[in-house]
C-alpha cells in the first residue's frame, strides 16, 4: 500500500453516499449509525475487477478513485478500508479485524481462512461491530459487541454469539426465514494493512476463490436487498418477500448491474465477454 495516500476527501464521500449532515460531524453513535446506513445503499459490493483479471488495489487513493469518484463498488477490503478512513478522520476510535466466512458453508466443513475484513468502533456507549462490506448480507447498522441478544437493523435481525473458544471469538448470525444462520466468525486478534494485502491477493488470484470465476454483486436499498451471483438475480423486500430470476443475456446482466446494483460499469473491452462466460 502507498503510505503517502493517507487523506480522505470527506466532501466527495458524503456526496457519494448522500449524507446531508454537517461537513464534519461529531464522532458519535448517531453519526456512525447514519453513515453505516447510507454507505451500503449507495456503494455496491462487486468483484468486476477480479472477474476481468485486473488487480484490486487497496491504497486509499485507488479505493477513493474507484468507489467514490468512478462510482464503482468493491468488496470487503475496499469498502471497510474506505469506511475506516472516513471514521478515523472524523475522530472515531476504530480497530481492524478479520473474519472467517461461514455464510453458504456446510456446518461440518473445515474452518475457512480469515478472508473478510471487519471493524470495531469504540464509543462512549461501548464497542460496536461496524462492517459495510459483506455482500448480500451487509449490515446496515453498527451492532453493540454483546452476545446472545437479537439486534434489529433497518435490514433485518442479527445477533452475536459466543463461539465458545479461547481466546474469545464471536459468530455473527442473521435471522433468515426464521432460522439463525452463521455469517462469519471473528476474534479480537488485531489485523494490519499488510494482512489485508495478503488476503486480498489470495481471494483475487487463488483458482478456487469464489471471486475469481464468479460474478458477485449486491446493494442495499430502503427496505430491500439486491444480490447477483453469476446470472441469478435476487431481490428481497421486507414487505413483499423474495424473488429470484435468471438473467439470460449480457444485456440483462448489464442492465441489472447498472440499475438495481447501481454500478457505473467500467469501459473494458473484456466486460461483455466476461459476462457471457458466466455459468
**Lookup: cell for 43:** 456503494
Active-site option among 36, 39, 79, 131 = 131
- Burial bucket for residue 176 (CB in 10 Å: 0-12, 13-18, 19+): middle
CA 234 from chain centre, in angstroms, equals 17
* Other C-beta atoms lying within 10 Å of the C-beta of residue 253: 25
3-state secondary structure of 60: helix
CA distance 115 to 160: 19
Residue 116 catalytic?
Answer: yes
Active-site option among 39, 79, 116, 155 = 116
Q: Residue 207 contacts by C-beta under 8 Å, 6 or more apart in sequence? A: none
Q: Diameter of the chain by CA atoms?
A: 51
Residue 124 catalytic?
Answer: no
Active-site option among 76, 79, 155, 236 = 76
Residue 76 catalytic?
Answer: yes
Catalogue the active-site residues: 76, 116, 131
Amino acid at each position: 500500500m502507498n503510505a503517502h495516500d493517507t487523506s480522505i476527501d470527506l466532501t466527495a464521500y458524503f456526496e457519494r453516499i448522500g449524507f446531508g449532515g454537517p461537513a464534519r460531524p461529531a464522532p458519535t453513535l448517531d453519526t456512525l449509525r447514519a453513515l453505516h446506513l447510507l454507505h451500503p445503499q449507495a456503494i455496491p459490493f462487486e468483484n468486476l475487477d477480479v472477474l476481468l483479471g485486473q488487480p484490486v488495489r487497496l491504497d486509499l487513493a485507488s479505493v477513493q478513485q474507484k468507489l467514490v469518484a468512478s462510482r464503482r463498488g468493491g468488496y470487503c477490503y475496499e469498502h471497510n478500508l474506505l469506511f475506516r478512513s472516513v471514521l478515523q478522520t472524523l475522530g472515531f476510535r476504530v480497530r481492524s479485524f478479520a473474519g472467517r466466512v461461514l455464510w453458504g458453508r456446510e456446518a461440518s466443513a473445515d474452518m475457512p481462512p480469515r478472508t473478510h475484513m471487519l471493524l470495531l468502533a469504540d464509543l462512549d456507549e461501548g464497542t460496536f461491530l461496524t462492517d459495510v462490506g459483506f455482500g448480500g448480507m451487509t449490515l446496515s447498522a453498527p451492532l453493540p459487541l454483546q452476545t446472545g441478544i437479537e439486534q434489529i437493523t433497518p435490514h433485518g435481525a442479527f445477533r452475536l454469539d459466543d463461539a465458545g473458544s479461547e481466546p474469545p471469538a464471536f459468530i455473527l448470525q442473521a435471522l433468515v426465514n426464521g432460522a439463525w444462520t452463521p455469517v462469519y466468525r471473528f476474534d479480537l486478534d488485531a489485523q494490519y494493512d499488510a494482512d489485508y494485502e495478503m488476503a486480498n491477493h489470495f481471494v483475487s488470484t487463488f483458482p478456487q476463490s469464489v471471486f475469481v470465476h464468479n460474478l458477485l454483486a449486491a446493494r442495499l436499498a430502503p427496505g430491500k436487498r439486491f444480490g447477483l451471483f453469476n446470472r441469478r438475480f435476487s431481490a428481497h423486500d421486507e414487505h413483499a418477500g423474495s424473488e429470484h430470476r435468471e438473467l439470460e443475456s449480457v444485456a440483462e446482466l448489464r442492465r441489472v448491474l447498472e440499475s438495481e446494483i447501481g454500478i457505473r460499469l467500467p469501459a473494458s473491452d473484456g466486460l461483455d465477454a466476461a459476462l457471457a462466460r458466466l455459468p
